[in-house]
């Protein structure tokens, strides 16, 4: 039959994948604004470099696969990956950091597995982890926010930033503005009571609830996440479960603020990539679990793992590792958390063998 038969339904809702991706991009804006306000142009440059690389790599791979480029680039998924990666990288990192990370994320972590929808691991997180492990020095060189810088010093302007990112354009020492993150600081302040750390450290003295600058970034991402929840881009299960898991672990291990304490709750919630992870990484539909219960379990375990790695692991922030570890487990979670179908008494199991 040369003519294709059309099946029902013959109507369609307005939502498209492109629209979903665009909502995601829009939701990153508050966080991006906060990052730029507190840490300068670095993040914007990272995002720009990552985006250009991502789109270029995706176009190249699509051409290699002999498919129309426009169709595949129009769904903005590469752009979202690049933006998320760019947001996660340290500002004013050398230009090849976002480029390598983005290329790896798009080509290896996404297209090698089959393209959009086929990747088992979150591409942005894969790119981040590859960079973190391969270039630890560049990846742990974070900046101090504008509010903490000593008087007289200021964050580099656009031209200076570009010179820092592209060393060929000029040479400016960067050490004037670098500083460990709040989480990093806390991790290495062993032997001190929590209140001592909070009182002595400039991060916390300058911050309202938690690390200065970083708290606003996280609040920005939280705002973006709430916008996405309202737009029904995803359901509440995964982000709420992750934050709940993390909070529970933090509360349990607070230890009344002793020297071996894991840290105050608001530090964990409003520092590092917590909110970015909760609303943009854990909710990535391609790599997370599928059912509501599955997403709850997935999110909760991500939160628990983040805490474990932060406190007892080698890294100060652990969102990327925790997410990747749970990406491994997501299909397994799916097998055991099928929703109860209409007409059945209990939930089925996808591991049921043919009898």
Q: Which residues bind other proteins (CB under 8 A)?
A: 2-13, 15-20, 67-68, 71, 75, 77, 115-118, 232-235, 285-286, 288, 290-291, 334, 338-344, 348-354
Q: How far is the CB of 67 from other proteins (least distance, A)?
A: 6
150 vs 352 by CB, closer to other proteins: 352
Q: How far is the CB of 77 from other proteins (least distance, A)?
A: 7
Q: How far is the CB of 229 from other proteins (least distance, A)?
A: 13
Per-residue burial over 318-345, b = 16 or more CB atoms within 10 Å of its CB, e = otherwise: bbbbbbbebbeebeebbeebbeeeeeee
43 vs 287 by CB, closer to other proteins: 287
Angle between helices 42-64 and 96-103 (to 10 degrees): 40
Closest CA relative to residue 28, chosen from 243, 223, 234, 215: 223
Rounded to whole angstroms, the Cα distance separating 78 from 9 reads: 30
158 vs 350 by CB, closer to other proteins: 350
79 vs 92 by CB, closer to other proteins: 79
Q: How far is the CB of 6 from other proteins (least distance, A)?
A: 5
Q: How far is the CB of 10 from other proteins (least distance, A)?
A: 4
Both tokens of residue 317? 């922030």
Task: Give me the residues paired with residue 178 across strands.
Answer: 143
Query: Residue 45: how many CA atoms within 13 Å on its side-chain side?
Result: 23
188 vs 232 by CB, closer to other proteins: 232
The DSSP 8-state label assigned to residue 249 in this structure reads H
| Three-class secondary structure of residue 216 per DSSP | helix
Closest CA relative to residue 84, chosen from 109, 118, 112, 111: 109
199 vs 350 by CB, closer to other proteins: 350
| Cβ neighbours for 329, distance < 8 A, ≥ 6 positions apart | 298, 301
Q: How far is the CB of 3 from other proteins (least distance, A)?
A: 4
């Amino acid at each position: 039959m040369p003519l294709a038969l059309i099946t029902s339904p013959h109507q369609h809702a307005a939502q498209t994948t492109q629209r979903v991706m665009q909502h995601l991009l829009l939701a990153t804006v508050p966080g991006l604004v906060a990052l730029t306000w507190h840490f300068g142009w670095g993040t914007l440059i990272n995002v720009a470099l990552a985006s250009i690389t991502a789109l270029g790599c995706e176009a190249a791979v699509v051409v290699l696969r002999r498919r129309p480029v426009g169709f595949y680039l129009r769904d903005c998924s590469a752009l979202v990956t690049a933006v998320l990666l760019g947001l996660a990288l340290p500002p004013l990192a050398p230009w090849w950091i976002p480029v390598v990370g983005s290329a790896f994320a798009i080509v290896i972590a996404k297209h090698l597995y089959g393209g959009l929808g086929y990747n088992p691991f979150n591409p942005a997180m894969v790119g981040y982890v590859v960079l973190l492990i391969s270039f630890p020095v560049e990846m742990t060189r974070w900046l101090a926010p504008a509010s903490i810088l000593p008087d007289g010093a200021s964050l580099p302007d656009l031209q200076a930033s570009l010179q820092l990112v592209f060393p060929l354009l000029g040479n400016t020492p960067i050490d004037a503005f670098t500083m460990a993150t709040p989480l990093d600081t806390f991790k290495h302040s062993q032997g001190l009571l929590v209140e001592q750390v909070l009182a002595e450290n400039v991060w916390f003295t300058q911050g309202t609830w938690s690390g200065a600058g970083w708290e606003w970034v996280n609040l920005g991402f939280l705002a973006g996440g709430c916008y996405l929840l309202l737009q029904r881009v995803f359901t509440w299960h995964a982000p709420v479960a992750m934050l709940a898991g993390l909070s529970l672990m933090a509360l349990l291990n607070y230890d009344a603020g002793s020297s071996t304490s894991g840290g105050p709750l608001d530090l964990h919630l409003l520092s590092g990539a917590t909110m970015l992870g909760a609303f943009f990484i854990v909710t990535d539909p391609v790599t997370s679990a599928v059912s509501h219960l599955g997403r709850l379990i997935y999110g909760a375990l991500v939160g628990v793992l983040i805490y474990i790695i932060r406190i007892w692991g080698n890294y100060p922030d652990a969102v990327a590792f925790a997410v990747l570890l749970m990406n491994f487990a997501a299909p397994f979670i799916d097998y055991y958390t099928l929703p109860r179908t209409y007409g059945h008494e209990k939930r089925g199991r996808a591991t049921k063998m043919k009898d």
